[in-house]
Amino acid sequence: MKIALITGASSGLGREFARQIPKLYRKLDEIWLAARSTDKLKELAKELPLPVRIFDGDLTRDYIYDRIKKELERQSADIRMLVNAAGYGAIGDATDIDVPAQAGMIDLNCRALTKMTLLCIPYMSKGSRIIQMASAAAFAPQPGFAVYAATKSYVYSFARGMGGELKSKGIITTAVCPGPVDTAFFERAGNTGNSMKWKFMSGPVEVVHKALADAANRRETSVYGAAMKAARIAARLLPDRLVIRLMRADSKKQNKGDERIR
């Protein structure tokens, strides 16, 4: 059975991947969706042109991986596409954010992604693709977004490193590094405190379309938009201390504007 497996499929970019993958990979037998919201996954399943298998549960807990592994074995599954899109962020100074929320970011954005990847690799074969949702936040340290940016730096590094290891098996890994995307992400994360982020907001349809095209073309990294490509180059050329100073200054400027509005 040829399948695509998508985490974080109940909303945002994960949901958009579920919508677009069947259009590009026409030989799939099923799409497997993993997320916490059973109702949202069932609603999404009605939209899709392929049979859907739902794995509702918390990706920071062991039981969902046990369920997925049993089904992979039972179905003799061949994972043609794995998309790790589950994750969240919390905006603000690290000392001001609830500690469990920040630890949860590490658990979901890093540990869960790693665990799912390692679980799935034995069920992948030549030509399989892995899409790891990183972020343009991975390119440099970000004050006011420190833990989230650090988790995405991990995802980016892990994707590139694993990509090198898997190349001999013909399994292609693509790290997707968008800037801010117009999804429900910021409803949970909060105000960015950074005016530049709002200026370069992208749409989920376009970001996912480029990510899938880049994965099909065997590219190791997918960065949507000229602005984010420029940010990647700048992060390579400028010292971290300067990037941090610029971002902190913009954040303080934006916060003052927010205070005046209130």
Q: Is 64 buried (19+), middle (13-18) or exposed (0-12) by CB count in 10 A?
A: buried
Q: Any idea which residue has 């974080």 for tokens?
A: 8
Q: Which of 17-21, 88-92, 209-213 has the lowest mean pLDDT?
A: 88-92
Give me the pLDDT at residue 256, please: 38
Mean pLDDT over 179-201 rounds to: 60
Out of 65, 123, 148, 224, the active site residue is 148
Mean pLDDT over 158-176 rounds to: 97
The total of structural domains in the chain comes to: 1
Query: pLDDT higher for 258 or 108?
Result: 108
Print the domain residue range for 34: 2-261
Adjacency order of strands within the sheet including 2-7: 52-56, 30-35, 2-7, 78-84, 129-133, 172-176, 221-222
Model confidence over 123-158: pLDDT tens digits?
999 999 999 999 988 988 888 889 999 999 999 999
CATH code of the domain covering residue 39: 3.40.50.720
Q: Which of 44-48, 174-178, 196-200, 227-231 has the lowest mean pLDDT?
A: 196-200
Mean model confidence pLDDT for the chain: 86
β strands within the chain, DSSP E: 2-7, 30-35, 52-56, 78-84, 129-133, 172-176, 221-222
Rounded to whole angstroms, how far apart are CA atoms 5 and 202? 24
Model confidence over 51-108: pLDDT tens digits?
999 999 999 999 999 999 999 999 999 999 999 999 998 888 899 999 999 999 999 9
Q: Which distant-in-sequence residues (6+ apart) come within 8 Å of 7 by Cβ?
A: 14, 34, 35, 59, 83, 84, 85, 86, 112, 113, 116
Model confidence over 228-242: pLDDT tens digits?
666 666 666 666 666
Query: pLDDT higher for 24 or 52?
Result: 52
Give me the pLDDT at residue 179, please: 85
Q: Is 148 a catalytic residue?
A: yes
pTM: 0.86
